[in-house]
Amino acid sequence: MRLESGIARGFWGRAVVCSVVVAAAAYWLARRADGPLGMFPGGPFRQESESCHDVDWAEYTDVSEIELELRPDAPRSITTWSVVLEGALYIPADFLTPWKRWPHEVEEDPRVRLRVGGRVFACRAMRATDAQQISRLRASIAEKYQISADGAAARAEVWWFRILPRVPD
């Protein structure tokens, strides 16, 4: 009996160590990648960016995920959802937990780049705070992603960022 439990402990110990090593390797590789790799934040976009001054965001209404690069001085990128409302592109930031830093980083430095439809745009992200607008954004994203409009997502704290053209430095 004692030998069997030792074998089981050894197996599970190796399984845990292997899982940690694989996760650490994926995280390390993602940070050096051209953008995020799935759920892992990635490195800076290698592609040149264009201005988002005259972008018709309505073209991207049906795009389910976009990539967002933040912190121009030490760039990293994430994958996130988006919604187009009244011709403007918005990015939600929900589940504001201690390890989800990007909404606070964007509020401090709104210069972002986003990759959508194979194009990279240099923009800025400004937090939306109007209650009526936020209500419309919640309804739009619930419809787009088939989320219950009155479920847990409706009760979660969500910051919304409107994507605007950058102001010259």
* Cβ atoms of 12 and 47 closer than 8 Å: no
- How much of the chain, in percent, has pLDDT values that exceed 90? 59
* Strands annotated E in the chain: 50-51, 66-70, 76-80, 83-85, 88-94, 111-116, 119-128, 158-165
How many of the other CB atoms lie within 10 Å of CB of 34? Answer: 14
* Cβ atoms of 123 and 166 closer than 8 Å: yes
Q: Which domains does the chain have, with CATH numbers?
A: 50-165 (2.30.110.10)
Average pLDDT for 32-59: 88
| Cα 96 from Cα 159, distance rounded (Å) | 8
Tens digit of each residue's pLDDT (9 = 90 or more) over 83-129: 999 999 999 998 667 778 899 999 999 999 999 999 999 999 999 99
| Cα 155 from Cα 10, distance rounded (Å) | 44
Q: In the prediction, which pLDDT does 53 show? A: 93
How does residue 38 score in pLDDT terms, banded at 50, 70 and 90?
confident
- The model's pTM: 0.80
| Cα 142 from Cα 53, distance rounded (Å) | 28
Of 108, 59, 111, 109, whose CA–CA distance to 82 is shortest?
A: 59
